[in-house]
Amino acid sequence: MRAGSGEIRLDGILDETAWQSAAVIPDLAQQAPRPGEPTPFRTVVRVLADSRNLYFGVTCSDPDPTRIAVHTMQRDGSMKGDDTVSIVLDTFHDRRTGYLFEVNAAGARLDGLISDPNVSDVPLDWDGIWDVRTSVSAEGWVAEIVIPESRSATGRAIARLVEPLGSTVITAANTDYDAGTSLAELIAYEGKRFEAADTNHDGRITVDEMPRGLAGDEPAAAAPAAPVAVRTGG
């Protein structure tokens, strides 16, 4: 659903008009400890998009909000035992890889790249550009999340920073000089290019920081993302 009814104010409160007409995932099914069984911890996910951003509004009902657990406020810190919401964007629609965004009830963020669905520990060396605000009430807690779309000016610039796969890239990224370049090596290689472009070292790249010839205006091709939301804790 497009966020066409005014701007979204990121404050952890879903009171803008646009949220009332957002696409809704009405209730997530319990996965653990009793998969598929009813639970009092109801979770409703709302999704919006505009020309710049993708928005998620997640309402986590809790019969006893005093027991909402938070153990970290650190970026990419351990959220084991915390009440959290996780979103995975399967941008290649292969059901194997994706971008992980996780937040606890206090607004601490964790993100990473999923390259192998059979590995439980997601590498956290990728830090995406996104933001979140949370709020806690007598009914539970809410996470309001914004993720910039790749079609934005900065997103297009970043897309151009990532080199297409070719013999030069594969050779440069293959740091252990074995038979081929692994995904981990490729991510590390692109990370160095990102750091080189981030001239003010703030963890973000603007169009002004892009190397000459990479900050054009034509849009980069981008596949629509298939989001998956998961809530833990409670």
Q: What angle do CA 116, 117, 121 make, to 5 degrees?
A: 80
CA neighbours closer than 13 Å in the CB half-sphere of residue 225: 24
* Domain 17-149+223-232 classification at class level: mainly beta
| CA 123 distance to own-chain centroid | 14
**Strand, helix or coil at 76?**
coil
What residue spans define the domains of the chain?
A: 17-149+223-232, 153-209
**Going residue by residue through the chain (234 aa), what tens digit of pLDDT does each one get?**
455 556 889 999 999 999 998 999 987 888 878 888 888 899 999 999 887 889 999 999 999 999 999 999 999 999 999 999 999 988 777 788 888 999 999 999 999 988 877 777 888 888 888 999 999 999 999 999 999 875 444 445 545 555 555 667 777 778 877 777 776 777 777 777 777 777 777 776 666 665 554 444 443 444 445 555 566 776
CA 104 to chain centre: 13
Predicted local confidence at residue 96, as pLDDT = 82
Pairing assessment for the beta strands 84-90 and 53-61 based on DSSP bridges: unpaired
User: pTM for this structure?
Assistant: 0.65
Pairing, β 84-90 against β 98-104: antiparallel
- Between CA 221 and CA 82, with CA 24 as vertex, the angle to 5 degrees is 90
Asked whether the beta carbons of 58 and 229 are under 8 A apart, the reply is yes
- In a 3-state reduction of DSSP, which class is residue 214? coil
Establish whether the linkage from the previous residue to 33 is cis, with ω within 30° of 0.
yes
The pair of structure tokens assigned to 163 is 């080199």
